[in-house]
Amino acid sequence: MADTEKIIEIEVLRYRPEQDKEPVPQIYKVPFTDDMSVLQGLQYVKDFLDETVSFRWSCRMAICGSCGMMIDGKPKLSCKTFLREYYPGGLRVEALMHLPIERDLIVDATDFITKLESIKPYIIPKEARTLEQGEYLQTPQQRDMYEQFSSCINCMLCYAACPQYGLNPKFTGPGILALMHRYNADSRDGGQAERNELGYADEGYWGCTAVGYCSEVCPKGVDPANAINQNKMNSAINYFTRFITPGGADK
C-alpha cells in the first residue's frame, strides 16, 4: 500500500434528467493512493465533494457486476480498475455505451434483463426425477463443456463493447448468447430446442458480426465470441443435416 497521497482529476459525464437536456462533463480533484480503485475515487467524490453524483456498486470485488462504466472510453469494472493507471493525466468516466442513461453513470438495464429472462437461464431437466432418485449427476468432462461460460456476472460490459448491439438493439447480445450456450451445453439440461428458437433467429447468433471486442472486455474471461461462433457452426450443421437425414437435425 502506497503512503504518498497524490491528486488526480476525474471527469464525470453527468446527466440529471430534471435539469440536463444532454450529458455534461464535470471535473473533480480527488486525493488518492496507489491502492485506490476508480470506484473508491467516485466514492470519495460522493462522500466529500458532491453527494449528487450517482453510480451503482455493491461488492467492490469484481463479483456483482454492478459498477461497470466507460473509463477513458473502455468498458470496465470500476472496482477492478485503479486510479494509478491514469495518473498524472486524469481519467474520464461515463455511463456504459449503447444503453439508455437513467442518471449520471447509471444505465437502464431493462432491455438486458428482458432478454436474459427470455432464454430461461436455468437448467430445464431432460427428465423429471424424484427426491428418492437423487440429484442429477454429470462427469467432470461434461462440466468442462460449459464451465467457462458459467462465469458471467451480468455486468453488461460486453454490450457496451458490441458495435452490433449499438446499431441494432434487437440483437440478443453477446453476454446472453454466451449464457444460452452455457445451459445448452449442460448435460443435465433439456431446453436446447426451445432456447435455439431465439438463438437461431435473425437477432440471435447470426446477428453477430464477429468483432470480438466483447471477449476482450469481459472481466471473467467468459469469451462470448467463442460461444457465438460455436453456435453458428452448430446452426450450419443443423441446417445442412436436414438435407441428409430429414428430422435428424432436431434430435
Which residue reads 466529500 in cell numbers? 48
CA distances from 41 to 30, 76, 162 (A): 7, 15, 27
Within the chain, residue ranges assigned H as helices are: 38-44, 110-118, 140-144, 157-161, 163-167, 174-184, 192-199, 213-217, 224-244
Q: What is the pLDDT of residue 108?
A: 98
Beta carbons of 195 and 186 less than 8 angstroms apart: no
Q: What is the pLDDT of residue 247?
A: 59
Helix (H, G, I), strand (E, B) or coil at 184: helix
Q: What is the pLDDT of residue 250?
A: 52
Beta carbons of 23 and 53 less than 8 angstroms apart: no
> 31 pairs with which residues across the strands?
7
- 26, three cell numbers: 464535470
130 residue type, one letter: T
Domains and CATH numbers, the chain: 6-107 (3.10.20.30), 110-250 (1.10.1060.10)
What angle (nearest 5°) sits at the alpha carbon of residue 46, between those of residues 42 and 50?
Answer: 120
CB-side exposure of 162: number of CA atoms within 13 Å?
31
Q: What is the pLDDT of residue 203?
A: 95
User: Along the chain (251 residues), what's the average pLDDT of each consecutive run of 10 residues?
Assistant: 79 97 97 97 98 97 96 98 96 98 98 97 91 92 95 97 97 97 96 93 94 97 96 83 65 45
Q: What is the pLDDT of residue 251?
A: 45
